[in-house]
Chains A and B, each alone.
Chain A
Amino acid sequence: MIMPLLDVRSLGKSYSHSEILRDINLSLERGEVLGLIGPTGSGKTTLLRLINLLEEPTTGEILYEGRAISSRPEGERIAVRKKMAMVFQKPIMFKSSVMENVSFGLKVRGEQSSLEIRERARDALEAVGLSGYERRDANTLSGGEMQRVALARAIVLQPELLLLDEPTANLDPRSASAIDCLLKNLAGGRTTVILATHNMMQCSRLADRVAVLVGGRLTALGKREEVLGWREKSDLRESTVPRFDLPW
């Protein structure tokens, strides 16, 4: 049996008296794209943050390549975090150039020469359609451009696991479509992706499997056809995910 890249077991997260996630169980094989869908406040972002080790779970455990990671010392957490990259819903830019922003992750890894880093950063910028933006001040870009820089900053690291939190939410349809193409290419390679999105069409285009998160609980998990087909049934639409605006 092949060991999953990521194994989330009975994961729960609470803040004071508010329970955000409860009893989440899922696993991901290498190269797989998992679409994580759910209404606003369902806990998608929190789940991604827990997997990225930005927060510690209240209950349960996360296993990466079979090793429990969420309760490890910070040094080990950093080592695991370096295998991942996360794109936040609201991208934050460092007060520096686009090139500096995209190079950041490679620089902190310190594994390559500055020439190699610049080369890879340029390739990543080209991939997201921002060639020629290298010297621009990242904080003067539009929301959509920042989102693309954030995506370039993540893919330049060639992560094993890419965590995307609504990566096209701030983009116009044309840019969003270009990013979808990029993600589709990525998905064909060695990168494993978790894509949190409101956009069911995007999810159906990109995901191999789909997880539905409602009120902090995983209500469905399975192959895209199974879950999205199953969701078309009227009883589920009304009872489980009432706030979704289904496009079909």
Chain B
Amino acid sequence: MEEIWSGVLQAAKLIVSLNPEIMGVTARSLVISFVAASLAAIIDIPLGGLIELREFFGKKVLVNLIQTLYSLPTVTVGLFVFLLLSRSGPLGGLELLYTPTGMVIGQMVLISPIMIGLTISALKGVSPQIRETAVSLGANERQVILTIIREARFAVVAAVLVGFGRALSEVGVAMMIGGNIRGYTRVLTTSIALQTSMGNLELSIALGMILIGISMILNLLLSRFQGR
């Protein structure tokens, strides 16, 4: 117990002193996950809108499949994206393996089911009469979808925040696609894993505290949006 307390104290000192290693890893984590969540949102929110608002064969099965993929193991996604990006894979020529861009792609694949699924749930909560009112006022399909997304904007933002949180806290994709290269692809989660295995508990705890702090801020934002 004493060791843990001493670790926490040391960790707090490292954070307060703005340790460059810690700050670098934290900034990299935030940037990679933010880019992944933003790009995923641009694709997934309209896609969720199309799935929810269009009637097509197999829609129910597709929605069930998307919901099942919420709990997709990160290492499985890591493996899948690794195979895609590895030299002999279909996207090997792009040389994205062990790069931040590759990590962004991996995180996008990981969080897309969550963002699409939560967008579908958010849009389900909008009264069908809103759609009808928009249609009756002359809106085309794209304008109707945008109107409905706008009506559910707080729930949709919450979906993006959940996706961002998942991207930030995952370790499998970051490790397998990024390779945990110091100063390049090392992020909070992979750094915690590495530092713990190396016995640098103070650094691990400091990084863990930052990760928990970010998660708490995200949760606060989430509850703010979900309450509206």
Chain B nearest CB, measured from A209 CB (Å):
24
Known: A74-B141, A108-B140. A95 touches B135 (CB 8 A): no
State the CA gap A153–B129 with chains docked (Å): 15
Chain B 121-146: CB-based contact to A (< 8 A → 1; otherwise 0):
00000010110111111111101000
Complex partner residue of B129 from A78, A92, A109, CB under 8 angstroms: A92
Are A153 and B127 in contact, with the CB atoms below 8 A?
no
A192 is an interface residue with CB less than 8 A from chain B: no
B67 is an interface residue with CB less than 8 A from chain A: no
Q: Which residue of A lies closest to B147 (CB)?
A: A94
Are B151 and A82 in contact, with the CB atoms below 8 A?
no
Q: Which residue of A lies closest to B144 (CB)?
A: A108
Q: Which residue of B lies closest to A93 (CB)?
A: B133
State the CA gap A90–B130 with chains docked (Å): 12
Determine which residue in B133, B135, B137 has the highest number of CB atoms from chain A within 10 A of its CB, and name it: B137
Chain A interface residue bracket vs B: 20 to 34
Contacts of A90 in B (CB 8 A): 129
State the CA gap A96–B130 with chains docked (Å): 12
Known: A92-B127, A94-B147. A54 touches B141 (CB 8 A): no
Contacts of A95 in B (CB 8 A): 150-151, 153
A244 is an interface residue with CB less than 8 A from chain B: no
Chain B contributes a number of interface residues (CB within 8 A of A) equal to 18
A81 is an interface residue with CB less than 8 A from chain B: yes
Are A81 and B151 in contact, with the CB atoms below 8 A?
no
Contacts of B139 in A (CB 8 A): 78, 104, 108
Q: Which residue of B lies closest to A109 (CB)?
A: B138
Contacts of B138 in A (CB 8 A): 78, 81-82, 105, 108-109, 157
State the CA gap A88–B132 with chains docked (Å): 10
Chain A 47-76: CB-based contact to B (< 8 A → 1; otherwise 0):
000001010000000000000000000110
Are B133 and A94 in contact, with the CB atoms below 8 A?
yes
Chain B nearest CB, measured from A196 CB (Å):
14
Are B130 and A92 in contact, with the CB atoms below 8 A?
yes
The residues in A between 99 and 136 inclusive whose CB is less than 8 angstroms from any CB of B are 104-105, 108-109
Are A81 and B130 in contact, with the CB atoms below 8 A?
no
Complex partner residue of B137 from A74, A75, A96, A108, CB under 8 angstroms: A108
Contacts of B130 in A (CB 8 A): 92, 94
Chain A nearest CB, measured from B147 CB (Å):
7
Chain B nearest CB, measured from A30 CB (Å):
20
Chain A nearest CB, measured from B145 CB (Å):
12
Complex partner residue of B135 from A81, A94, A96, CB under 8 angstroms: A81
Chain B nearest CB, measured from A84 CB (Å):
8
State the CA gap A52–B137 with chains docked (Å): 10
State the CA gap A54–B147 with chains docked (Å): 17
State the CA gap A85–B134 with chains docked (Å): 11
State the CA gap A85–B139 with chains docked (Å): 12
Known: A92-B129, A95-B151. A105 touches B137 (CB 8 A): yes
State the CA gap A92–B153 with chains docked (Å): 17
Known: A78-B140, A95-B151. A54 touches B133 (CB 8 A): no
Can you name 13 A-B pairs with beta carbons within 8 Å? A52-B136, A75-B140, A81-B136, A82-B138, A92-B133, A95-B151, A95-B153, A104-B134, A104-B137, A105-B137, A108-B134, A108-B143, A157-B138
B residues sitting closer than 8 Å to A (CB atoms) are: 127, 129-130, 132-141, 143, 147, 150-151, 153
Given known contacts A81-B138, A94-B130, A94-B150, what 7 new A-B pairs fall within 8 Å (CB)?
A: A54-B135, A92-B127, A92-B129, A94-B147, A95-B150, A95-B151, A104-B134
User: What 3 A-B pairs come out closest when comparing CB atoms?
Assistant: A105-B137, A82-B138, A92-B129
